[in-house]
Amino acid sequence: MYIPPFTVSSRAINLIAEISSAIERYAIRMEQSDSLRLRKVNRIKTIHSSLAIEGNNLTESQVDDIINGKNVVAISYIG
């Protein structure tokens, strides 16, 4: 029977559990960050598409600026 050249102590098990917990918290935080970014991008694309259907020619960048409270100069074409 194989006997490893080390022993597993309760301290080692506790440290492994702490490391695992920290990694899981980090992974969850990264997923939330990605999720928020994707939701914002999706919101901008949805608004832009809806406006385009109505004949508005704002770009996605301009829609993003409006959402962020920036002023956007609109040019109207009458044709």
Q: What is the mean pLDDT of residues 30-56?
A: 88
Q: What is the mean pLDDT of residues 8-29?
A: 92
Cβ count within 10 A of residue 70: 9
Residue 75 domain-assigned? no
- H/E run at residue 15: helix 10-53
Report how many domains make up the chain.
Answer: 1
pLDDT of 77 > 70? The answer is: no
Q: Which range marks the domain in which residue 29 is found?
A: 10-67
Question: Rounded CA gap, 1 and 21, in Å?
Answer: 33
What pLDDT band is residue 57 in, cutting at 50, 70 and 90?
Answer: confident
pLDDT of 79 > 60? The answer is: no
Residue 41 domain-assigned? yes
Residue 79 domain-assigned? no
Residue 72 domain-assigned? no
Residue 59 domain-assigned? yes
Q: Whose CA is closest to 42, among 71, 70, 64?
A: 64
pLDDT of 62 > 80? The answer is: yes
Residue 5, phi then psi, degrees to nearest 5: -80, 25
